[in-house]
DNA sequence: CCAAACAAAACGATCATTCGTTTTACGGAA
DNA sequence: TTCCGTAAAACGAATGATCGTTTTGTTTGG
């Protein structure tokens, strides 16, 4: 019973997913046709339907791949010795290094989650994982006496979420948005909320590097 | 040459716009058909095409109506005696009182602005207006000696934008998001950036009302 | 009264998906 | 290693449904 070797099978699948990501980032889920994705991937409609039962399946598979990768990277935060530094590292990766296609896709995914229960399950479960992780980290840091927050921890976690949302949205919507300009300020604001007490939490002295390099 | 009286003409037009808003908020621009909008508005396709030349025209008209209303409300900020108080008022209106339909529509509009130049023109012009207004206000407040910001004003304006974006996105995406929980904290963070020096900028003593009423 | 406003059916185009056919890749035999 | 046999994989035209829009005929308000 000759089948494709699992490695090439996954390679073909990922090729389709990559093409779909570019198409969806360019035109959104519902304004992108399967034919466009086929042309972008260099395959026929029949081939796509070998790996995905429907367009919705393709969308869901793409969302799962993206969210799993994000959750993996986010999970590294909990083990980082310097929390604020690790947080800024994640911010630089997702708000500066990440390709515009990926950033626009995440926004598209979030919008779709408001009307497609299946996408909502994928999107919101990772979202909840982030929020819960933040809370757990803050509780741990507080118990260890490294932070002394003036506000209750669930609220701080929500504020974190909202600030991350804002950066992601703005980066996706404004083509020439300069994330480097505001990212340090955001990190400083977050540090204000946590009110760190020890030398372990604040990686750099809060003096010089808050001003952006260029102001128009 | 008997035409409809302008008042009823505008009423019919707005009826279609209202129906389109509900449909677009529910399903997005490209997954909503003209037939759905017709059914929602209780009119026929022929009637819609009397008032709008195309689906894209209908979308653009809806975006213009929404952005004009927002710009009007935002312009009141410049004349407000207490800046932070007026800002929080706007926040409460758009993040708490506003209907979920309107909030989801704005997100849809922003996403569409990344691929439709016409929508981008409408969306980004108001966006730029907000950013410029923020900068102008901050310069004025600084010249009057009411604030003493440690960071350059363009960056602060950007931070404002991003925080507003985050609240709007989160409110649109998470059905039971409690904006009241984080809004006061956001206002406090913004106050930190401005570093007010006089009694005019901070409306309330920065002590008691920062903690949310309920914590889970 | 009459043109604007509207309803409803109908238009070509395009959509996601299917299906009959051809090609290809793999496991085993030589 | 080389060559088959075979079933999965891929192709691409075709499908019915639905899209945005137009057309046709009727209603209606100034």
Answer yes or no: do B215 and A169 touch at CB < 8 A.
no
DSSP B12-50: HHHHHHHHHHHHHHHH-STTS-HHHHHHHHT--HHHHHH
Q: Inform me whether the pLDDT recorded for B215 exceeds 80.
A: no
- Report how far Cα B202 is from the mean position of its chain's Cα atoms: 24
Mean pLDDT calculated for residue range A173-182: 93
State yes or no: pLDDT of B209 exceeds 70. no
pLDDT at B75: 92
pLDDT tier for residue A203 given thresholds of 50, 70 and 90: very low
ipTM above 0.85, yes or no: yes
Strand, helix or coil at A196? Answer: strand
Cα separation, B28 vs A85, whole angstroms: 38
Reported confidence tier of residue A44, pLDDT bands at 50, 70, 90:
very high
Mean pLDDT along residues B18-45: 98
Structure tokens at A216: 């128009």
Query: What distance in Å separates the CA atoms of residue A132 and residue B140, rounded to the nearest whole number?
Result: 42
Q: Which residue is nearest to nucleotide C15 (CA to C1')?
A: A33
pLDDT band at B3 (very low <50, low <70, confident <90, very high): confident
Q: How confident is the model at residue B202 (pLDDT cuts 50, 70, 90)?
A: very low
* Average of per-residue pLDDT values in chain B: 88
Q: Is the pLDDT of residue B118 over 80?
A: yes
The two structure tokens encoding residue B114: 């990344």
Position A111 pLDDT exceeds 50: yes
- Mind telling me how many Å the CA of A10 is from chain B's nearest CA? 30
Q: What is the pLDDT of residue B78?
A: 86
User: Domains (ranges, CATH) in chain B?
Assistant: 1-52 (1.10.10.60), 60-201 (1.10.357.10)
What is the pLDDT, as a whole number, of residue B84?
82
- Annotate A68-87 with b (16+ C-beta within 10 A) or e (fewer): eebeeebeebeeeeebbebb
Burial code of B26-51, b = ≥16 C-beta within 10 A, e = fewer?
A: bbbbbbbebebbbebbebeeeebeeb
Helices B100-113, B117-143: inter-axial angle, 10-degree rounding: 110
Nucleic strand C under 7 Å from the C-beta of B45: yes
Please tell me which residue, B139 or B197, carries the higher pLDDT value.
B139
Q: Output the six-digit token pair for B161.
A: 């934008």
* Substitution target from A173, A180, A190, A210 for chain B, most B beta carbons within 10 A: A173
Within 23-62 of A, beta carbons closer than 8 Å to B belong to: 26-31
Residue B214: pLDDT band (50, 70, 90) is very low
Asked whether residue A42 carries a pLDDT value surpassing 80, the answer given is yes
Question: How distant is C1' of D11 from CA of A59, in Å?
Answer: 23
Nearest CA in chain A to B26: A115
* Structure confidence at residue B201 as a pLDDT band (50, 70, 90): very low
pLDDT at residue B166 is higher than 90: yes
The minimal CB distance from A163 to the residues B158, B166, B174 is found for: B166
A117-to-A123, A199, B31, B178 alpha-carbon distances in Å: 10, 45, 15, 21
What's the pLDDT score for residue B197? 67
B 191-210 residues with CB < 8 A to A: 192-193, 210
């Amino acid at each position: 019973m000759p089948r494709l070797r699992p490695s090439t099978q996954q390679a073909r699948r990922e090729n389709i997913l990559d093409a779909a990501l570019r198409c969806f980032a360019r035109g959104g889920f519902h304004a992108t046709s399967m034919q466009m994705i086929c042309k972008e991937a260099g395959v026929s409609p029949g081939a796509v339907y070998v790996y995905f039962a429907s367009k919705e399946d393709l969308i869901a598979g793409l969302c799962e791949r993206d969210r799993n990768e994000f959750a993996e990277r986010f999970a590294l935060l909990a083990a980082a010795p310097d929390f604020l530094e690790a947080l800024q590292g994640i911010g630089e990766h997702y708000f500066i290094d990440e390709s515009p296609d990926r950033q626009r896709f995440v926004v598209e995914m979030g919008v779709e989650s408001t009307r497609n229960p299946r996408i909502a399950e994928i999107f919101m479960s990772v979202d909840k994982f982030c929020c819960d992780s933040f809370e757990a980290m803050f509780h741990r840091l507080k118990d260890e006496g490294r932070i002394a927050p003036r506000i209750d921890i669930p609220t701080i976690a929500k504020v974190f979420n909202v600030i991350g949302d804002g950066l992601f949205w703005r980066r996706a919507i404004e083509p020439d948005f300069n994330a480097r300009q505001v990212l340090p300020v955001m990190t400083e604001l977050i540090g204000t909320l946590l009110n760190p007490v020890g030398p372990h939490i604040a990686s750099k002295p809060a003096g010089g590097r808050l001003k952006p390099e260029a102001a128009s």
